[in-house]
Structure 1
Amino acid sequence: MATQSPLGAYLRARRSLTAPADVGITVDGQVRRVVGLRREEVAILAGISTEYYLRLEQGREARPSDQVLDALARALLLNDAAQAYLHELARPAKTTATDAAR
């Protein structure tokens, strides 16, 4: 398994904070093993494959497009600040040798 990425950790955290009812999913007394949304539910809401979403959470997908990030932000009901943070995690600032020496 890939090492835990900051993007993957953030997606997992936000997924657990989003209740199915918040996005129009009815559970009708079903026993759910996860708190919040399932991976499959996030993928469907974002319009991406479950496998691709899983790769994002596991840190095996390095450069998701802005369109995918925006779709995930909508699926997870992120506000503007949280959406901007999601984009920052997916596009970490590059450090130069000068920055590293400081």
Structure 2
Amino acid sequence: MNSNTELGEFLKVRRALVSPAGDGGPRRRVPGLRREEVAVLAGVSTDYYTQLEQGRHKRPSESVLGALA
């Protein structure tokens, strides 16, 4: 497993553990936040976040990693 894949797996697991605020919305098929929601919170595009999660982006900057943390 390479570090890109490890980062992607970590992001997926962490995203699944975070509940959306206000639980009064429609039921979700998958637990946790949607990729779009994480991207907005981290200040990155949904496409970029998806690339990180899928291990397709080589080197995210420290500021992006900090925002995701």
Q: TM-score, normalised by structure 1?
A: 0.61
Q: Which residue of 1 aligns with 2:68?
A: 72
* SS of residue matched to 1:5: helix
Q: CA deviation at 1:20?
A: 1.1
- CA shift, 1:58, in A, is 0.5
Matching of residues 38-49 of structure 1 within 5 Å: 38-49=34-45
Aligned to 2:28, the other structure's residue is in SS state coil
Aligned to 1:33: 29
Counterpart code for 2:30 = V
**Residue identity in the other structure for 2:47:** E
**Percent identical across equivalent pairs?**
61
1:18-49 per-position Cα deviation (integer Å, ceiling 9, x unaligned)? 1112xxxx242411122011000000000000
Structure number with bigger Rg: 1
Q: Which TM-score applies when normalising by structure 2?
A: 0.88
Letter of the 1:56 counterpart? L
Larger relative contact order (CA 8 Å, sep ≥ 6): 2
Aligned residue-pair number: 66
Unpaired segments ≥5 residues, structure 2: none
